[in-house]
Amino acid sequence: MLYREQTLETPHGTVDTPVLFPVRNVGKRSSDNTPEYADSIPDLNTGMINARAIRQRDPQWERIQAGSSIRDEMEVPDETILFADSGGFDFQSDEVDTTPKRTLETQRAIGADIFGTVDRPLSRNNRSAENERRIEESTKYALEASDRHDGDELLFASVHGYDPETVRNTLRHLDRNGEFDGYALGSMVPIRTDYEKVTKLILSARRSTDKHLHVYGLGGIVYQPLLLYLGVDSFDSTAFIRSAGNRNYLIPGFGGEELRNIEEIDRLPCSCPVCSSRSYAEIRAHRDLLTRHNLWALVTELRRFRYMAAADQDIESYLDLRFQGNSVTQRAYRIAKQQVRRLT
């Protein structure tokens, strides 16, 4: 397998990888806002934030420019490691309204530890020529960011492509012509149900570079074990928020189940701090509690994989069991296993 453990050095401390970056809706005052988890989950000192969105919130951006800390705004410890992407997902349908220079200035102003370069995500609905143009634009933005970046923060180039050759060639071009601490593979969310394709794209990226590899948007409970097996170093996710919005209860090793499909029971099958002291009825009634549980579920999934690796257990046998309940993911894992064995 390609699973690996490393350490990232950042301005606000070190982070052991592989690691999850929960997406935080900083400054958003809605029922979907990320629940507080800093200090409540010992091994989760990370967060993903949207630099563009923060800059567009005038009151918050004015406070930051006046000296406020984004960590104070988020009410998290100073040592929290923040990955600020460019907000590229917003450019999937809209025109780009920023520049690499402006994005770097924003990311530095908010005190992020990891900068994601400006990118234009792809879409299956686009013509090939349009997606090719977007790939070229994202590559150009990444190289410009490399030329302008002169700080201690880590710079991850955002990479897109819907075929392995494009991903491989883009990564090699960026490696030859820029200076990056890692790469972030994007445009995966729109094709996330095509597990075979996603698997091949990630493997193409992994075999093209030994640097840190992040995958945007696929850190959910089903994809996590597959990403870890493929050697992905970090991933972000909103799955814990989105699932809670649908009253979907995530269970490590199984996936998710809508609470409305569960017969009335006293307790849910989890011993996390949320579930261990509360009844089924209480958790079902409060979406924030369900969101917090779902985040614990994502962390537990990662802990399980780490444990299996530390115990020198047969990871492939573990994943055979892990994926046996879903024929689609099971087939994707078999394809990944075949390709990984050719590389190792």
pLDDT score of 93: 62
pLDDT in tens, 21-42: 999 865 444 444 566 676 788 8
Task: Give the start-to-end residue ranges of the domains of the chain.
Answer: 6-237
pLDDT score of 34: 67
CB 181 within 8 A of CB 156: yes
Per DSSP, 259 falls in state G
pLDDT above 70 coverage of the chain, percent: 94
Superfamily in which the 6-237 domain is placed by CATH: Queuine tRNA-ribosyltransferase-like (3.20.20.105)
pLDDT score of 77: 87
Does residue 325 surpass a pLDDT of 80?
no
List all residues 6 or more positions away from 12 whose beta carbon is below 8 Å from its beta carbon: 78, 79, 80, 81, 82, 111, 113
pLDDT score of 274: 93
pLDDT-derived band at 175, boundaries 50, 70, 90: very high
CB 87 within 8 A of CB 53: yes
CB 139 within 8 A of CB 177: no
pLDDT score of 29: 43
Please give the average per-residue pLDDT across 269-285, as a whole number: 92
pLDDT score of 28: 46
Please give the average per-residue pLDDT across 271-298, as a whole number: 92
Of 301, 238, 300, nearest to 24 by C-alpha is 238
Distance separating alpha carbons of residues 230 and 243, to the nearest angstrom: 25
pTM score of the predicted model: 0.93
Count of all residues that appear for the chain in the document: 344
3-state secondary structure 34-92: CCCCCCCCCCCCEEEEEHHHHHHCHHHHHHHHCCCCHHHHHCCCCCCEEEEECCHHHHC
